[in-house]
Amino acid sequence: MRKAFLPLLLLIAASSLSAQKVLQVEKFGNPRTTKMYIGDPITYQLRGQEGFHSGYIEDIRMEDSLLVLADRYVKAYDIAALRYDRNWPRATGKSLFWFGAGWSGFAAAGFAFDGDKDTHYRWADAIVTLSSWGLSFAIPRLFEHKNIRMGKRYRLRLLDLRWKLEDWEK
């Protein structure tokens, strides 16, 4: 009885789960994909336009291949590029800034407190500090975004992973 009850319970629980509509970014030859769900932010560029637009995905209409955003509808075919924000440049910039501050601070503290008249704060210490500070401000600005162009290597796919349609969609 117990062995028959567990699969029945799992089957009933699985039927009550709700699946989602997904915007999937696929790379040719790579089984790993990037998925965007309803409620996720999206930054995109339309075909024939220069700038990027941003918004939150409010709904995905499968029958028309439309993304419903807060103030517009966008056809999936009209998206020419997607832009992702990267996190590592900001973290690298902070690390380089504090590395430069630490280098200069320890060099100045060593000069002030070691009691040796032959040691002093050198130009090399200042160069290391200034170059790490310069890189800490340049790296986040140079590598802030990753742009993915749709075309030969990347494509968008709209997926409906729901078990059944809602009553209002019939």
* Distance (Å) of CA 17 to CA 52, 62, 69, 161, 163: 36, 20, 25, 11, 8
| Interval 130-142 mean pLDDT | 95
Provide the percentage of residues in the chain whose pLDDT is more than 70.
91
Average pLDDT over residues 55-81: 91
Q: Is the pLDDT of residue 40 over 60?
A: yes
The predicted-structure confidence for 4-17, as pLDDT tens digits, reads as follows 777 777 777 665 55
For residue 18, the model assigns a pLDDT of 57
- The secondary structure of residue 145, as a DSSP letter, is E
- Between CA 64 and CA 76 the distance in angstroms is 9
What the block records as the tokens of 100 is 């430069």
Mind giving me the DSSP string for 56-97?
A: E--EEETTTTEEE-SS-EEEGGGEEEEEEE-SHHHHHHHHHH
Share of the chain above pLDDT 90, in %: 52
Residue 170 has pLDDT above 70, yes or no: no
Give the residue among 40, 42, 38 at the shortest CA–CA distance from 19: 38
Nearest to 123 by CA among 111, 135, 137: 111
* Helix orientation angle between 88-113 and 123-142, rounded to the nearest 10 degrees: 170
Query: What pLDDT is recorded for position 78?
Result: 93
Answer whether residue 48 shows pLDDT above 70.
Answer: yes
pLDDT at 168 over 90: no
Mean of per-residue pLDDT scores for the chain: 87
Alpha-carbon distance of 9 to 3, in angstroms, equals: 10
In this prediction, residue 160 has a pLDDT band, given cuts at 50, 70 and 90, of: confident
Return all residues near 32 (Cβ < 8 A) that are at least 6 apart: none
pLDDT tens per residue, range 81-124: 999 888 999 999 999 999 999 999 998 888 888 777 777 888 99
